[in-house]
Amino acid sequence: MTRDEIREEIIDILNDIAPDEDLSDLKDDVSFREQMELDSMDFLDIVMELRKRHKVQVPEEDYTELASMQSTCAYLEPRMKDIERV
């Protein structure tokens, strides 16, 4: 997957987790928690969706890498480079 495809996938996951949030003006360099009303369970849902949809394992010590769209895409890009978007 490309960085843009990963971004689209994360937005899709965020839409599923927080359907009432307006993600149209989501800033890539600002943390998700500053922009959205996400709690720790919502954050775990993001990690679980990545595992369920793409078999991507995110160890607990790497959770901070998923703080913003920019850091999430940078973290996932090498791990998802060989994954096709469905």
Q: What is the pTM of this model?
A: 0.89
> In this structure, which amino acid lies at residue 75?
Y
66-70 contact pairs (CB < 8 A, 24+):
66/32, 67/31, 67/32, 67/33, 68/27, 68/28, 68/29, 68/30, 68/31, 68/32, 69/7, 69/10, 69/26, 69/27, 69/28, 69/29, 69/32, 70/28, 70/29
Ordered by start, the domain boundaries in the chain are: 3-80
**Segment 9-22, tens digit of pLDDT:** 999 999 999 999 99
User: CATH homologous superfamily for 3-80?
Assistant: ACP-like (1.10.1200.10)
**Segment 18-77, tens digit of pLDDT:** 999 999 999 999 999 999 988 889 999 999 999 999 999 999 999 999 999 999 999 999
